[in-house]
Amino acid sequence: MNRIPPRLVPPGSDSETPPLAQGVMTRAYGESFAVVDAIIARGLDGLSGLEAYFEAVIDARGQLMMPGFGAPGLPQHEVERLDGELRRRVDVLVARGRHDGTVSTTLRTVDVVVFASLLAQGLPEFAGYRGAARSLVMIFLDGVAARRVAAPLDDLATDELSES
């Protein structure tokens, strides 16, 4: 059995008892859902929504449960259900970005979920983690941002430019 990450264990508790382990994991998934839901509710464009989501994950990383972490105390079918629910919520942000043209159409929800999971894992021994994580977020966002091609000048604009 996987052990509960120490960052999720309440002080002084016996985290390996099944009821407590299930409660800790369920609460952490609930926190993860709340982070995504709050970003969705803000109505940001896709790229800004992803940036806000990643920022929120970095800020709340000690309370979140993300796909790929494992969830000791929960049955596998429940972990799969909860992971799937988180992916569906993140998909709203990805779909919004595709729809509004702010992110590349090649961006996949799994890319965002895996990246967010890595951000949430953190590096507790690294004092500069927040700054390093922010840099990684900017690199990720730059890589997934839709590339806009400048619209060609129409004839009127071209004529006006040549007259000046």
**At 42, which CATH number?**
1.10.357.10
For CA atoms 32, 38, 40, 46, the dihedral sign is negative
Whole-number pLDDT of residue 61: 87
Whole-number pLDDT of residue 19: 55
Whole-number pLDDT of residue 164: 45
pTM of the model: 0.77
Distance, CA of 144 to CA of 22 (rounded, Å): 36
Mean pLDDT per 10-residue segment, the chain (164 residues): 45 51 78 95 97 95 77 78 93 97 96 93 83 95 82 50 48
Distance, CA of 6 to CA of 13 (rounded, Å): 11
What total of structural domains would you count in the chain? Answer: 1
Whole-number pLDDT of residue 150: 52
- Per the domain annotation, does 13 fall within a domain? yes
- Per the domain annotation, does 1 fall within a domain? no
Whole-number pLDDT of residue 45: 96
Q: Which residue segment(s) compose the domain that 11 sits in?
A: 6-163
Whole-number pLDDT of residue 78: 84
DSSP 70: -
Tell me which residue of 59, 83, 61, 53 sits closest to 71, measured CA to CA: 83
Give exposure, 72-93, as e/b (b: 16+ Cβ within 10 Å): bbbeeeebeebbeebbebbbbb
